[in-house]
Amino acid sequence: MIHIVLFEPEIAQNVGNILRSCAALNAQLHVIHPLGFLLHSKEFKRAMMDYDELMQLMEHNSLQECLEHLQGEVYYITRYGMKTPNEFDFKSINKDIVIVFGKESTGIPKVILSENINRCIRIPMHPKARSMNVSNTVAIVLYEVQRQLDFQGLSSVEVLKGKDWLLQ
């Protein structure tokens, strides 16, 4: 199982988009309080559409509580990471994969990153770019993990309209 953990997310629309990516790419979404928005706000509900029917959003009071609950192999996404996602062998992991993303304004606290420097991942980007939108970052990393796992549990054909829809 892949777990996406959002450390104190601040923007409802980002979390809604991430929930949709997690539902589509077969991952469980966790949020760490405090949040910068209400989970029942219209912005959040609009961003997640009806994808909450595909999965349940898990809430935690602290990152430590969340990680103790999950007991998986933990990785941290940060612009300060020294390895790219493809430098990790996710296929060789025999337990849950947990990927932590920081809050939009300040990321993951430095003390946490410093203690886990060998598990910090950076997405390569233009040298003058400071960061990427967190919902885009989740999609990129989650897709790379699923690619390495051979898209386990995902459909490679269109199911709703049928795999031959373009030929009709």
Q: How confident is the model at residue 147 (pLDDT cuts 50, 70, 90)?
A: very high
CA nearest to 22, candidates 38, 3, 46: 3
Domains of the chain (ranges, CATH numbers): 2-167 (3.40.1280.10)
pLDDT in tens, 18-36: 998 999 999 999 999 999 8
Where do we find the tokens 């993303």? 101
Question: For residue 3, is pLDDT > 80?
Answer: yes
Long-range contacts, 36-39 (Cβ 8 Å, 24+): 36/8, 36/9, 36/10, 36/11, 36/12, 36/103, 36/104, 37/9, 37/10, 37/11, 37/12, 38/12
Whether the per-residue pLDDT at 73 is higher than 90: the answer is yes
pLDDT at 38 over 70: yes
